[in-house]
Amino acid sequence: MSPTPSPCPLCLDAGGLLVHQTPQWRLIRVLDDANFPAFYRLVWQAHVAEFSALSKAERSACMEAVATVERVLLAQLRPAKINLASLGNMVPHLHWHVIARFDWDSHFPNPVWGAAQREVAGGAQARLALPLETLDRLLSEALVA
Amino acid sequence: MSPTPSPCPLCLDAGGLLVHQTPQWRLIRVLDDANFPAFYRLVWQAHVAEFSALSKAERSACMEAVATVERVLLAQLRPAKINLASLGNMVPHLHWHVIARFDWDSHFPNPVWGAAQREVAGGAQARLALPLETLDRLLSEALVA
């Protein structure tokens, strides 16, 4: 368990558009990357740096929520792949990236942190099967259930 | 559950140096990136593409093993951060990257898939606190326990 750095950006505010939250975690939608509109983060509410700092029960709660987000993205968007990652080199406050990837997206098959492969005419958001607000609502409903 | 592509490289062979295995998963050490010597992969033995294709019990077994690997790397190497990721855009057979990151490494604080930041004089492996063979043995012992 790491001490809280001052200031930790994920302790200061939500870190994106708040989609759903519980006392343990929150789901936000990342707003600052137009190449990846279906990019969500599951942020652990308490300031811990590493996944293994959680208890087994907390890890299970965390990853079951991640799996629920993944399942909704797969069902609604039919992506080529879901990418999951907990990195935190810059912001060492536990957060899981959950990213829907498409064979037409700007970086596929590279990771979103790798080299771009192409430009997406018309923008990525226009190619999604449903509006992001609808996706947010479906995620929130699935996470309550 | 995806059909097995032919050939799936992670169905054909271990995919790296085999450190430990159970009927459900295997831990391999990645041998092809000198910048990141403490780079392990937990590969699910059955061919499934997405984390959410596992049952809840399987997900727990998978992530408890990942957390054990993380804990050993943290204790033995004192890295700046552990990076966890399940991407699979190229090889859609569930595998978790578990990577010890150091503030002196070639890409820090970027992801290992991002832009290099520096050269590491003498190579990264020489800077680790213990030989990789010892680390492999400690990982194997922790995964049995």
Say which amino acid occupies A61.
Answer: A
Interchain proximity A50–B74, CB inside 8 Å = yes
* Residue in B50, B60, B68 closest to A74 by CB: B50
B33 CB neighbours in chain A (<8 A) are: none
Per-residue pLDDT, A12: 96
Cβ neighbours of residue B70 closer than 8 Å, sequence gap 6 or more:
A50, A51, A52, B82, B84, B98
Tokens of A48: 């811990």
pLDDT tens profile B21-79: 999 999 999 999 999 999 999 999 999 999 999 999 999 999 999 999 999 999 999 99
Q: Does A78 touch chain B (CB under 8 A)?
A: no
- pTM of this prediction? 0.96
B49 CB neighbours in chain A (<8 A) are: 81
Q: What is the spatial order of strands in the sheet that B25-29 belongs to?
A: A17-21, A25-29, A39-44, A95-101, A81-86, B81-86, B95-101, B39-44, B25-29, B17-21
Domains of chain A: 9-144 (3.30.428.10)
Distance (Å) from the C-alpha of residue A71 to the closest C-alpha of chain B? 6
- Banded model confidence at residue B1, pLDDT cuts 50, 70, 90: very low
pLDDT tens profile A122-131: 999 999 999 9
pLDDT tens profile A93-141: 999 999 999 999 999 999 999 999 999 999 999 999 999 999 999 999 9
Q: Does A41 touch chain B (CB under 8 A)?
A: no
Do the beta carbons of residue A27 and residue A20 sit within 8 Å? yes
Using CA atoms, how far apart are residues B94 and B46, in angstroms rounded to an integer? 8
Average pLDDT, whole number, for chain A? Answer: 95
Per-residue pLDDT, A5: 55
pLDDT for residue B109 is more than 50: yes
Interchain proximity B113–A108, CB inside 8 Å = no
B82 CB neighbours in chain A (<8 A) are: 50-52
Q: Does A142 touch chain B (CB under 8 A)?
A: no
Using CA atoms, how far apart are residues B108 and B73, in angstroms rounded to an integer? 17
Q: Does A52 touch chain B (CB under 8 A)?
A: yes
For residue A27, count other CB atoms closer than 10 A to its CB.
26
Q: Once rounded to an integer, what is the mean pLDDT over residues A74-85?
A: 98
Tokens of B43: 């590969």
